[in-house]
Amino acid sequence: MLKGHTKIELTDVKTGKKQVIEKDNLVTNALAQRFTPYFGYYQSAMTNSENPTLPEWLSTFGGIFLFDSEIEEDVNTIYAPSTAKMVGCGSTLDISSAGDIFKGTYNATESGYDASQKKMTIVYDYATSQANGTISCVCLTDSTAGLGGYRNDKFYDNSYKLFGSVNSATIPKLTSYPTRYRAYAITFDSNIEYLFAVDVANECAYYVIFEDDTSVTIRKKSTHIKKYSLFDNSPEILDEQFISGFTKPLIAHGSFNFDYKDNALYIVTATNETVTQNQTFVVTKIPFGSTGTFNQYEITNTTTETYKIAVENVYVHNGYIYLRTSNYKAVKINLSNAIDTVVLGTVGTFCYPQIGIEGRVYWATMYEQYTVDTDRLFISEETDNSLNRTAFRNLFVSKLQYNDRSCVIPIIGNKMYFVTEDYDDTTSRNQKICFLRNYLATINNISPVAKNNSQTMKITYTLQEVSENV
């Protein structure tokens, strides 16, 4: 088992007064999930895709997050809830922290690995201008995520992505038709399956078929993820649920997504691609495993903004609708009470809501040829309605052309892994398995300590492999 310890040293640069905080930590199940094999592939701990020379311990534990509030010390808590705001970070990657108010500097001289004791030590130094605020929780994470995986105003480089790829090869395609964000309209056709979720544990995938404007079919099919036949690997239909009788008909313009938090498939449709003030759109909620039940919500645009409904502009997570406007504003709408609508801020020209994890929605840049500063990976916070830049351009390497699409399909029962897909209008798609790097490998709640701009800070984090009875 792994045993961890954190030591924080705050030094007042004017008086020399030093404050020291020390505490042992909890090691979560994040790494057990990270190294779970998917589609026959193992994620190698030995390399970091952007820095392949990093040793194992520097890659998997080589980042650090500092949060302003406690995070539940549960082994299954592997991503920070939106109630905890990141006030500082750090990474073992050899990148300058100049001008960065969040990221400290990796102290390579005092860090290292003692093979005889199976003990790693990582040290970070923070200047007076860095990581200021209340620190209540310290967590280790992936080395790349440590650049600013929850927020950072400083952008580092296009090559750094918040998704890590499990394997370099693409996986067998799970569908012959484009998935979540396919065109400017949903196609009503009983022969077209739209993939919306994958269940690796049970070797199946889930598809929605838009039969007509009042009915859909939810289809469960085998995937041959774990078993492979030399003779026939054609997917089999394992189950189908026909859901009909929508009182608010589905309309062609729209999008859809599966949300693990609500355990439901959401379909968002409107008469036109845009919804202006006082116009409406419809959200249809189909609980996962539904035997015909559904809920429909008619949402009125109560703002002066013009909502974009088609393609990749909408995502529903934890009871809230997240969408983009025609002038690139990010909007959050309470599904049960549309009056509760908040304009969160401005995102990039081609920045769309892609995934939702623990009350945080990730707004990813779809077309990387657009490199203005606003085209960054943003994260919106459910708790305080903030919209923050991260240190990254995108979740993963996407297509570069305007007519290309990229999307993310969740894996049921695992918040860390996703199927990613690149799609364009003329060529075949690539589907890969990726993991979200900003996991919490450890959680260490400490007595809250306030760092200010008259203090420097040193954090020494140790992890040691010990026997179970220690």
List, in sequence order, every beta strand (DSSP E) within 250-403. 253-259, 264-270, 274-275, 280-287, 295-300, 307-308, 314-317, 320-325, 329-334, 337-346, 351-357, 360-365, 378-381, 387-389
User: By the 8 A CB rule, do 296 and 283 touch?
Assistant: yes
Task: Give ∠ CA 17-22-26 in degrees, rounded to 5.
Answer: 155
User: How much is the average pLDDT of 254-265?
Assistant: 92
- Please compute, for residue 193, the number of CA atoms within 13 A of its CA located in the half-sphere on the CB side: 16
pLDDT in tens, 99-135: 899 999 999 999 998 989 989 999 999 999 999 999 9
- Specify the 3-state DSSP secondary structure of 359: coil
Whether the pLDDT of residue 314 is over 80: the answer is yes
d(Cα 224, Cα 169) in Å, to the nearest integer?
A: 17
- CATH number for the region 194-436 comes to 2.130.10
C-alpha dihedral (207, 168, 363, 327), degrees to nearest 10: -90
User: How much is the average pLDDT of 40-51?
Assistant: 50
- Reported pTM: 0.91
- Which residue, chain included where needed, has tokens 């699409």? 405
Whether the pLDDT of residue 382 is over 90: the answer is yes
Q: Phi and psi dihedrals of 265, rounded to 5?
A: -95, 130
Strands 307-308 and 314-317: unpaired
pLDDT in tens, 149-189: 999 988 776 678 888 876 554 555 665 444 444 445 678 88
pLDDT in tens, 392-407: 878 875 544 444 456 7
Beta bridge partners of 459: 8, 124
Tell me where in the chain the CATH 2.130.10 domain(s) lie.
Answer: 194-436
45: left (phi over 0), alpha (psi -120 to 50) or beta: alpha
> Tell me, what DSSP letter sits at residue 103?
B
User: How much is the average pLDDT of 256-271?
Assistant: 93
Q: What is the DSSP string of 2-30?
A: EEEEEEEEEEETTT--EEEEEEEEEE-SH
Query: Could you tell me what percent of the chain has a pLDDT over 70?
Result: 83
User: By the 8 A CB rule, do 439 and 142 touch?
Assistant: yes
- pLDDT of amino acid 341: 97
Least confident of 235-244, 289-298, 396-405: 396-405
- pLDDT of amino acid 35: 76
User: By the 8 A CB rule, do 13 and 456 touch?
Assistant: yes
- pLDDT of amino acid 86: 97
pLDDT in tens, 2-43: 888 999 999 999 999 999 999 998 999 998 888 776 555 545
Whether the pLDDT of residue 365 is over 50: the answer is yes
- Which residues touch 16 (CB under 8 Å, ≥6 apart)? none
- Which residues touch 239 (CB under 8 Å, ≥6 apart)? 219, 220
- pLDDT of amino acid 303: 95
Q: One-letter amino acid identity for 429?
A: R
The more confident residue out of 53 and 354 is 354
User: How much is the average pLDDT of 270-287?
Assistant: 94
Burial (0-12, 13-18, 19+ Cβ within 10 Å), 76: exposed
- pLDDT of amino acid 401: 43
Whether the pLDDT of residue 224 is over 90: the answer is no
Place 191 in a pLDDT band, splitting at 50, 70 and 90: confident
d(Cα 391, Cα 373) in Å, to the nearest integer?
A: 11
Other residues' Cβ atoms within 10 Å of the Cβ of residue 470: 8
Nearest alpha carbon to residue 63 among 116, 111, 18, 9: 111
Beta bridge partners of 445: 137
List, in sequence order, every beta strand (DSSP E) within 182-288. 194-199, 204-212, 215-222, 237-244, 253-259, 264-270, 274-275, 280-287
Place 228 in a pLDDT band, splitting at 50, 70 and 90: low
User: By the 8 A CB rule, do 438 and 150 touch?
Assistant: yes
